[in-house]
Structure formats: structure tokens, C-alpha cells
Amino acid sequence: MRIGIALDYSGGFHQAVDRIVELEKAGIDVAVVAEAYSFDAVSQLGYLAAKTTTVELASGVFPIYTRTPSLLAMTAAGLDFVSDGRFRLGIGTSGPQVMEGFHGVEFDAPLGRTREVVEICRQVWRRDRLQYAGKHYQIPLPADRGTGLGKALQLINHPVRERIPITIAALGPKNVELTAEIAEGWQPVFFYPEKAESVWGEALTAGAAKRDPALGPLDVMVHASLAIGDSVDDRLTWTKPQLALYIGGMGAKGRNFYHNLATRYGFGAVADRIQELYLSGRKHEAIDAVPDELVRGISLVGPRGFIAERLAAFTEAGVTTLLVSPMAADPAESVRYVEQLLQLRPA
């Protein structure tokens, strides 16, 4: 199992980079930078590339609606270049709340667009003359939609690699099936290992049946909050604000993927209550309504023996890369938690 760090997009980036540089020496494998409606992840990944030497860098994730497929490919090739071949392109749809509410971009056809984005990126990295006639993207634009002067172009630079790994963040059955078919990696959110098979097993099996063997095994990249010790149960509450935000506030009723996931995990009534409270402006009550059982199931918080048991559960559920966010009181404690996790991880 690979161990990595998921950087918080809400602040403290310079301090986080200092910790990553220290943890790179301790043996972490990957650092992932998220992009929501915060600072862009590209500039931060470029900064990380200059500060590190061996750790893999990944976007976690770039929304597919905010950049053209060609720009996504160019950005990935550029980050792969400045990191000497250490970049992994993480993409996802995000959700209507962010795409329509912050970017003013229509959230439409997530499955079709994701497939076409992946196909176009791989053409760009191969330096094909880019000609693509998809349902959602046509390159060059047809004459009746443009000036009629469109000419097929190819990437000017020679990428470090013509096949940069792609990880897709996906939650719904069809999205997960598509990911298992076409991507090198899958990045689900709020992964509950004991419930993963019942929620995603059928979709993963269906996608794997159509998967090109050249892609290799699917890298299952999962995020978990981390705190190791005999008296760290209070850190469970540190994760609750994010869960309340996503389950309660990331989308209207009927259009919230995270609420749907909590429901599929068996927390439907609780998810409804969190959403009701959050959307009515009672955010603190929504946070208090998040159950410890859910937080504990998707986290690594507890004594060393308990953490070892949870690592075994994540491994049994097929997780190959574990991305952690230390719930630490200070930077030294954060580093210590990750170092202890590295000692405990399965071979």
C-alpha cells in the first residue's frame, strides 16, 4: 500500500509543503493537491515540483468543466515536465454547486464528457494531430461552427511521457464503472471499507470486464483523516465540519452526490437531517448531527492497534494508495502521525 498526503485547499500551503519535504525523506509516496473554489491547484503543484525530488504529485482533482480537454492535457504535460515525470492527472466532475454556483458553467453530461476528455488527453500526449469528433468536443471545430480555418494541430513540446496516469474521482455506479474501464486510478471520497463492496463492487466488476489490460491494475486512491494515539477520539470531531458541508451543503436536495453516498452507506435518515439543517442555515447543528460511526468508519483515528486493524480493512477492500490528512495540533504532531502510519502500513 502506498501512503500519501492530501493537502488541504483552505490554507497553510507553505507550511504544508515544508512538511511534505520532511515526509518525503521519511518515505511517503505521493502528495495530492485538491482544487475546489480555492486557489488553483496548478500553481501549487508547480511549487511542490520545485521543492521535492521523489514524491509523486497529483491533482485531486481538476474539474473537467473548467478547462478544455486540450488545456488539461497541456497542464498535465507541463507539470510532468517540471517534476521530471512525477505527475498524475486527477480529474473529476465536481458537482453542480461548484460548477454552476462558482464558475457559471453548466453541469451536463458528466459520463460522456469524462470519457471524451480522457481520450483527447491521451491523443495530445502522443502528439497526434488532434482530430476528434465526439458528441461533446469537436476538434478542430467544424466549419459551420467556426471560421472554417481550423487546422489539426499537435502539441509543440515532446512530453516526458506519452501516457501520464489518469485518476478519476467518481462516486455514482455509472461513473465508477467508467473509471474502472478507462483510467489508471480511481479516487472515491469518504471511503468506508466495510461497505465499499456493496456500494461499488458491481460497478467496479462491470468496468474491469471492459478494461484494456495495458492500463494495469486499478489504483484505488482513498482519503482518510489521521490521528494515532490512546487519547485522540476528540479528533473525530475535526472531520465533522467537512462531512456536514459535503453531505448537507454541496448541492440541492436530489442533486447532492455525497448525500447519496451516505444514504447508500446506510445513513439515509441522518443524511436527510444533516441536509435539512445545513440548507436552513443551522450549520453547527448539522455538524453535531454527523454520527461518530460514519466518521470512524472512513478515518484512521485511534490507538496504534486500532489503526493497524483499519489498515487491514482498507487493504481487504482493495485500497492501494492511502491519502491521509493528519488531524494534528501542530506540525510536529502531523509529521509524527504520518511516520507512525508508515511503520504500520501493510507490505
The answer to whether residues 258 and 324 belong to one domain is no
What pTM was estimated for this model as a whole? 0.94
Residues 90/60, Cβ–Cβ less than 8 Å? yes
219 and 275 in one domain?
A: no
Is residue 293 within 8 A of residue 302, CB to CB? The reply is no
- For 244, the domain range is 231-298
Same domain, 48 and 83: yes
Residue with cell 460522456: 112
Instruction: With a cut of 80, say whether residue 243 has pLDDT above it.
Output: yes
pLDDT at 279: 95
- Is 9 a residue whose pLDDT tops 80? no
pLDDT above 90 for 206: yes
Q: What pLDDT band is residue 37 in, cutting at 50, 70 and 90?
A: confident
Task: Tell me how far apart the alpha carbons of residues 86 and 80 are, in angstroms, rounded to a whole number.
Answer: 6
Quote the pLDDT of residue 317.
97
CA-based Rg of the chain, rounded to a whole angstrom? 20
Task: Please indicate, yes or no, whether residues 281 and 323 belong to a single structural domain of this protein.
Answer: no
Same domain, 283 and 336: no
| 8 Å CB contact between 302 and 337 | no
Mean pLDDT, range 56-71, rounded to an integer: 96
Stretch 276-284: mean pLDDT, rounded? 96
Count of domains observed in the chain: 2
CA 275, CA 246: separation in Å to the nearest integer? 9
Task: Judge contact between 13 and 332, C-beta under 8 A.
Answer: no
**Stretch 288-307: mean pLDDT:** 97
Q: With pLDDT > 70 as the criterion, what percentage of the chain qualifies?
A: 99
- At 33 the pLDDT is 94
Q: Are residues 160 and 248 in the same domain?
A: no
- Band (pLDDT 50/70/90 cuts) for residue 254 is confident
Residue 271 pLDDT exceeds 70: yes
Is the same domain home to 37 and 146?
A: yes
Please name every residue paired with 5 in a beta bridge, in sequence order, or none if there are none. Answer: 31, 324
Predicted confidence band at 142 (pLDDT cuts at 50, 70, 90)? Answer: confident
Average pLDDT value for residue range 38-63: 95
pLDDT digits (tens, 9 = 90+) for 175-201: 999 999 999 999 999 999 999 999 999
Three-state DSSP state, 227: strand
Task: Give the domain-ending residue among 280, 298, 316.
Answer: 298
Residues 85 and 159 in one domain: yes
User: Does residue 97 carry a pLDDT above 70?
Assistant: yes
Rounded to whole angstroms, the Cα distance separating 66 from 182 reads 21
Query: Taking 70 as the threshold, does the pLDDT of residue 332 lie above it?
Result: yes
Is the model's pLDDT at 167 over the cut of 90? yes
| 151 and 285 belong to one structural domain | no
Rounded Cα distance, 55 and 21, in Å: 9
Which domain CATH number covers 39?
3.20.20.30
| Whether residues 213 and 274 fall in one domain | no
Q: Does 91 lie in the same domain as 127?
A: yes
Please tell me whether residues 19 and 167 are part of one structural domain. Answer: yes
H helices present in the chain, as ranges: 13-26, 41-51, 69-82, 96-98, 110-125, 173-182, 193-209, 236-244, 257-262, 268-279, 283-289, 292-297, 304-316, 331-344
Amino acid, res. 77: A
Average of per-residue pLDDT across 54-69: 96
The pLDDT, as a whole number, for residue 11 is 66
pLDDT above 90 (res 221) = yes
Mean pLDDT of the chain: 94
